[in-house]
Structure 1
Amino acid sequence: MDNFEKDGASPPTAIDTPASYYYGDDATRLPPIPEDLEEHLRAKGVRRSALGQVADAVEDEFDHRRRTMGGVDQFWLVLSDVTDFNPVRSASSDCTSIETLRGIVTEEDVIEQHKELVDKFPRLRQKVDGLGRLWHGAVFVDDPDYDPRNHVFRCSLPAPAGKVELDDLIGDVLSRGWDLTRPLWDVTLIDNYHDGEQVVSVLVTRAHHTLSDGQGFVISQLYLTSYFDDFAKQVRTGLDKFRKAKRGLLPPSEYKPALKPLDPFAASAIFGPFIHLFLAILFWLTSVWQAILSSQIWSNYEAARTIIFFLLTFWRTEKLYPEFPSGYSHSSGSNTHKREYAGSRIFSLQDIKAIQQAFSGPRPGAAVAGVPRERRQNAVRGKGHVTLNDVICAVMADVVAGMVADKPEPSSVLGRVRRAVNRIFPPRLSFMIPVSIRKPGDLSMRNLSTMSIVNLPPPPVRALNTDATVRELHAHIHRCRYELALFKHSSWPKFWFRLIELCAQTPILFPLSWFRRVHDASNPFTRLFRAALIEPIITTLLESPVAVLTNIPGPTKPITTSNVEIATWHALPPQAGAGTLAIGVLSYAGGVSLAIAGDRIPGGEGVARELCARFEGRFALYVERAREVLERQD
């Protein structure tokens, strides 16, 4: 028996037992001092060192992939490098907000606001890094020299400081290029604007499309206003409603008005569970049908029509300018930096509702026939319902067709041939319209939009006159509604978004990245292939539509920023190819307004302003005809 057992002592543990207990008192038998494992493996060979390098490389790769900007963000930068469409120099890829204010806002107010904004949206203090690589995409990195003061500019209008002077100055602001070594946003404060309604300040805020799509950009601007908390609450309410809809927990009438008789039974302890189960099954069956079967059928049909219309009309599309200068493009030529802007008056939502009520349904007045005036608000919801987008697009198609028809006879041979063919076969009016794929509740500043082409039918020549009849306007609105309905059901824009988002993050997988100008020195065929094939194709695609047209719903009531009321609010999408227009429709405080921007081409100045004026006149005609229909129903 050991001594510690004889003495009644506790046996030593592994922690407090000295080494001499195992090795004796001979120091030579003591365990060696543990050597560094890394040093030991390095002494044995290079295996650990190589594995360590591989592990570090894998870790760095994962970290880089995590920080790489989205594929659509990359797309805007790649597109500007491989074609003459150059948003970096020509500033045509701006998302722009124009706010007129009923009071004084100082430069310090704007700076303090954006100090808070960058905490909510960190991209605003970051710059682009890592451009031009094939195996790794560009990333956003914090700018060590970031200072919001470097992004806020103050200027004044020349006398008389009215709307004409404001539009001209905004055109100059839109003409500024971008410096990719700095964060891609800026604010211009105009401090002396007067329009007769005591509006004395204007804020023009721009952000490069690489930072965000139009919807995310407007969300970031709402964060600076008194409306953001209410907006966030509405988003959360809508998200909660959507989640309940998926589980069948909403009242039956909110799924379909025809199910309203089931509402009392849905609250019953006996019948309620069965009704909610039925509603959940109905929701998912409908979603599957729309997403897989119906969507694919309509998507392929719409895609085939779009391709056919493009092939038949791209070569004979007429711009709104009197004579599109030969060779004009978004390259670094003398015309690159010149843009023009115009904003419309405010159109009352009540007038738009009158048009909806009068022209919804299979014939004028059908949607409100026999319905008392006080109940007409919900009467237009149903088959053949005309939406705000249908109204705006129908009026815009009228205006564009009228401006093209009023152009002087072209002087070039190609122009005369084009005009002769178009008289016999009037071309469709192509508009590029953004499509949001933002999930409910997503308030991030990211690119979550794709685009598609909508080919609106031109109105009959006679319908362009001011004596257009009610039936002619009704037929034209519903032809436009049909085209927009096809566009809404198409899944191809979402497919292309996902594909670009996946491939463009790794440039080697994205063919456009192979032909960037940075590779010209190492591969002489890059420039040749780009000039002979890539640039002509992309330029043709970008110049084929008349305009980029987007509609963004805004606050329904007046709001403030820096405790000053916003009187009017306009928003602009990016522009497509040379000679196209950017048209933004934004609803705010019971009204709808248009903002239009385009190239300031020699000999074609004032196109944006003329388009606004013609739209106002044509919209008044639609309202007049709608009132006639509704008066007959009374």
Structure 2
Amino acid sequence: MAVDRLSVLDSSFLRLETTSHHMHVGGLGIFEPGLAYADVVRVLRDRIDAVPRARKRVRDTHPLAGRPIWVDDPDFDLSYHVRHAALPTPGDRHQLGEFLSRLMGRKLDRARPLWEIYVIDGLEGDRVGMFRKTHLAMANGEDGDPFGALLDDHRSALEPEVGRFTAAWHPDRPPPSSVVVAQAMAERLDRGQQAAMAVVETLDPRVGVRRATAAAGSALGLVGRMVRGAPQSPLNKRLSPHRRFAMASCELEDLRVVRRAFGGTINDVVVAVVGDAVGRLLRWRGHETKDLDLKVMVPVRVDERVGGAPGVGETRTVGDGVVGVLAPLPVMQMDPVARLYRIMGEMAGLKESRQAVAADQLVRLAGYAPPALHASAARVVSADSRYNVALSNAPGPQEPRYLAGTLLEESYPFIPLAGDSALSLAVSSYAGQMFFGLLGDRDTLFDIERLGDFVTESVDVLRSAALDQLAQARER
């Protein structure tokens, strides 16, 4: 009987979670009028087989049995996971943000599958919200968005339910403890053999010297950046259990105009916007930002080939295929174009570095260690002094998406807070717009809605500079 065991990374997310450090991720979708709670339940019920682990919960194991495992939940209840709510009149953005803030401050129940969906009526203009959160242990890179199966790329109405037949789901029995322990022992033996082979390769100058030297050098570079850490800032304080959430948006074309005028990537422009907006917030609070560089943690997707000669062997991603790299975030008052050019240079340097290889070595090292070391390695990666702000930018579909024939109009993601960093920003493009989900600690980011306003202002300033640059170029 196969054992569905959590990865080293996923099990570390479970161990690191506390009442103040929540390990769930998700987002808010806002739909045009017409989406009904019953429709969401029907679509998910019909498509839940396509959602990996939606009916599985985590079961802890004996220390000898290795990491926790996924097992079918014999008491799975869809109505527990898909909930119905409504905002009072007028259902504005402030009320919505307050409601979502409370949902984000609640841990998921470990005794059940690690996800929840809320269908929210009463939004302004009769629109409907759908908020979802999923534990990081479930929402890994291999599966992508666990609830992408809900959305269609065309507007199709639900078929009548009369006469429909849905096959009953029967949970599998969990594997016996003896099987779980035997597999864990076999995995440990296999890892030991792999480690021995790695030592032989390293001792062979024809095979391992260059590889070992490159890995060691990149690991030292990564550790050096982590030790240097981040400067003290008003955004770094001990986290409370509570959160605040706000939203901001702009036209994707505005960012493309900036890219056409000054070069770089959309991600460079987003980092520049965030740096400007955070600086504006700090100065609005009365803090000095002269010559201040904060540290931003930017997740980067990695696809590294390992094993055999360069370019040969299996394609391996690190953890869920994403590693975090540190980048300077200039928040001082400065020319917005100069800020963008500086960020472009810094990000280009990070792409050319070998930090991703170093992170891969750290993940594989954790794989040989007992559960206590898994948590220690994850704590190193989430060290309190490592960064000031977390920023994740992921492109989304540019064609409209629909749920039960209802148009998804807006889509705001969020990522959790970690360490003592009280602010995270998640950014996604969708259907010609860019959406910013701003998550903050409730005590530290009491003015997070103001930060959303500053994001909008920062985009407008860069766009104006870009239009001037393009106009001057046409005149020359």
TM-score (norm: length of structure 2)? 0.76
Deviations 1:558-578 (A, max 9, x none): 221111000101111222223
Contact 2:302 2:356 in 1 (8 A): no
The CA deviation at 1:557 is 1.9
Amino acid at match of 1:481: M
- Alignment partner, residue 58 of structure 2: 128
- Maintained 8 Å contact 2:87/2:96: yes
Q: Number of paired residues?
A: 409
What's 2:255 paired with?
352
Aligned to 1:341: 245
AA of the residue aligned to 1:454: L
Q: 1:293 to 1:201 in 2, by over 3 A?
A: farther
Higher strand content, 1 or 2:
2
Q: Per-residue CA shift, 1:498-527, capped at 9, x if unaligned?
A: 6536744x76276245x8xxxxxxxxxxxx
Alignment of 1:512-591 (within 5 A): 512=374, 538=380, 541-591=383-433
> Which amino acid counterpart does residue 400 of structure 1 have in structure 2?
V
**Structure 2 Cα separation of the partners of residues 147 and 489 of structure 1:** 48
User: Paired residue for 2:282?
Assistant: 404
Higher helix share: 1
2:232 corresponds in structure 1 to: 317
Answer yes or no: is the 8 Å Cα contact 2:23–2:135 preserved in 1.
yes
Partner of 1:508: 370
Provide, for residues 546-603 of structure 1, a one-character-per-residue CA deviation record: whole Å limited to 9, x for no partner: 22211111111222111100010111122222342221110000111100111101xx
Larger Rg belongs to = 1
In the alignment, is residue 455 of structure 1 matched against residue 327 of structure 2?
yes
Residue 406 of structure 1 deviates from its aligned partner by 4.2
Q: 1:429 maps to what in 2?
A: 294
Correspondence 1:176-195 to 2 at 5 A: 176-194=106-124
C-alpha distance 304-630 of structure 1, shift in aligned 2 (>3 A): farther
Pair 1:581–1:497, CA change in 2 (3 A)? farther
Paired residue type of 1:508? P
Match of 1:150 in 2: 80
Distance 2:93 2:223 in 1: 41
Can you give the 5+ residue segments of structure 2 that lack an aligned partner in the other structure?
A: 156-208, 306-317
Alignment match of 2:147 (pick from 218, 221, 235):
221
Structure 2 matches for 1:174-253, cutoff 5 A? Answer: 174-194=104-124, 198-213=125-140, 216-218=143-145, 220-227=146-153
Partner of 2:4: 67
2:36 equivalent to 1:109? no
**Kindly tell me: are residues 158 and 134 of structure 1, through their superposed partners in 2, closer, same or farther at Cα, counting changes over 3 Å?**
farther
User: Deviations along 1:188-238, whole A, 9 cap, x unmatched?
Assistant: 1101101xxx352000011000002368443x3332111399xxxxxxxxx
Q: Which amino acid aligns with 1:226?
A: D
Evaluate the alpha carbon distance shift between residue 578 and residue 539 of structure 1 in structure 2; reply closer, same or farther with a 3 A threshold.
Answer: farther
Q: Distance in 2 between matches of 1:204 and 1:540?
A: 26
Counterpart code for 2:426: G
Rounded Cα–Cα distance in structure 2 between residues aligned with 1:94 and 1:183: 13
The residue identity in structure 2 corresponding to 1:455 is A
Structure 2 counterpart of 1:244: none
Between stretches 113-122 and 150-159, larger displacement belongs to: 113-122
Q: 1:438 to 1:311 in 2, by over 3 A?
A: closer
SS in 2 for 1:96: strand
Conserved? CA contact 2:216–2:358, under 8 Å:
no
Residue 271 of structure 2, aligned match among 393, 415, 419 = 393
Change (3 A) 1:633 1:299: farther
- In the TM superposition, 1:43-62 aligns within 5 A as none
Q: Please state if 1:615 is matched with 2:455.
A: yes
What amino acid is the match of 2:6? M
Equivalent residue number for residue 163 of structure 2: none
Cα gap change, 1:72 to 1:170, in 2 (>3 Å): same
Separation of aligned partners in 1, 2:110 and 2:450: 34
Letter in 2 for 1:436: R
Shift of the 154–432 alpha-carbon distance from structure 1 to 2, 3 Å rule, reads same
Other structure's SS at 1:344 match: strand
2:440 is paired with a residue whose SS is strand
Q: Deviations over 1:110-165 (max 9, x none)?
A: 22222234311341100000257255110000000012111111111122211111
The CA deviation string for residues 304-358 of structure 1, in whole angstroms up to 9 with x for no partner, is 66655554454x420337xx4xxx34xxxxx31x11100103x212211211111
Alpha-carbon contact 2:295-2:389 (below 8 Å) kept: yes
Q: Matches of 2:136 and 2:304 in 1, distance apart?
A: 19
C-alpha change, 1:186 and 1:148, in structure 2 (3 Å) is: same
Q: 1:119 to 1:388 in 2, by over 3 A?
A: same
Supply the RMSD in Å over aligned alpha carbons: 3.4
Counterpart-to-counterpart distance in 2, 1:135 and 1:299:
32
Aligned-pair CA distance for 1:484 = 1.7
Q: What SS does the aligned partner of 1:95 have? A: strand
